[in-house]
Structure 1
Amino acid sequence: MTTTHELVPLGTGELTLAEDQDDVRGMPVMDVRDHRVGEVEEILVDPEQRRARLLVVASGGVLGLAQHHRLVPVDAVSRVHGAVRLERSDLHVESGFDYDPEPPGPVDYRPVYSYFGYTPFWEDGYPDPYFLDRRWAR
């Protein structure tokens, strides 16, 4: 069974986040071992709740050429303080799912959540991750 849920890139300007502090675009991304993974280039937002659901992490390449863009659920964020810190390694992210800014049709994000070991945000009993529950500004 395929389950698709529309997510909108924040950069399109179609909507704003429910919490301004969730806009971590441009911040460096560090892994669990304190290795630099890349930088948050985009945030995919659930238009219904206006909450960040997936980060698009850009890495590699020179001057934007040959860059990789990987999807990372916000559930994988353990802390945001000067950088976005993940509960996973850079290798885990690098082996993950590519981001296609112009998909040919509806996207099923379930494999992304499964790969990282998290419950998709649309399922019953989904707990708000740290990223969406923090009470401080950067």
Structure 2
Amino acid sequence: MTTPATIHRLSDTGSTITPAANDIRGRAVKDKDGETIGKVHDLLIDDEERKVRFLLVEHHGFLGFGHSSSFIPVDAITEIGEHEVVISHSREHVAAAPTYDPELIADTKFHGRIYSHYGCNPFWDDGYLYPANLPTMLAPH
């Protein structure tokens, strides 16, 4: 296992997604059943490969609760449409994920718990392959 890269919000880096029409921030996030669970508020990228590793998703009134946020690994994305991003899990599964804490944005143990929750290997594991179903539009420039 190699040392993981540090994760940053795309919005904090000064980088952009090009072309701008391919930026998925602001798109609805839907679960595997087509239910809207929130919207992509930001993208979390690593500082070495500069690939998107997590979606920062904002939830409004999610499962009867007030405003909340969560990290969802890009490995859980099954489809990217013009107005939405679809993930491979239910809204209940997302609600049961490790609680979002902005102080943990660079905490690899926290990232590991998120990957484990979603049944994905962390990007720093030997042999990890970036999801082939993701278009290159997710690579920040």
Partner of 1:128: 130
Q: Do 1:29 and 1:84's aligned partners in 2 also have CA atoms closer than 8 Å? A: yes
Range with bigger deviation, 22-31 or 77-86 = 22-31
Distance 1:120 1:101 in 2: 19
What's the RMSD between the two structures over aligned residues? 2.9
CA distance change for structure 1 residues 19 and 100 in 2, over 3 Å: closer, same or farther?
farther
Aligned identity (percent) is 31
Structure 1, unaligned runs of 5 or more: none
Structure 2, unaligned runs of 5 or more: none
Q: Do 2:4 and 2:124's aligned partners in 1 also have CA atoms closer than 8 Å? A: no
Distance 1:107 1:19 in 2: 30
Partner of 1:118: 120
Query: Relative CO higher for 1 or 2, CA cutoff 8 Å, sep ≥ 6?
Result: 2
TM-score, length of structure 2 as denominator length: 0.78
Bigger fraction of residues in helix: 2
Alignment of 1:45-64 (within 5 A): 45-61=45-61
AA aligned opposite 1:93: V
TM-score, length of structure 1 as denominator length: 0.80
Distance 1:107 1:128 in 2: 18
1:80 has 2:62 as partner: no
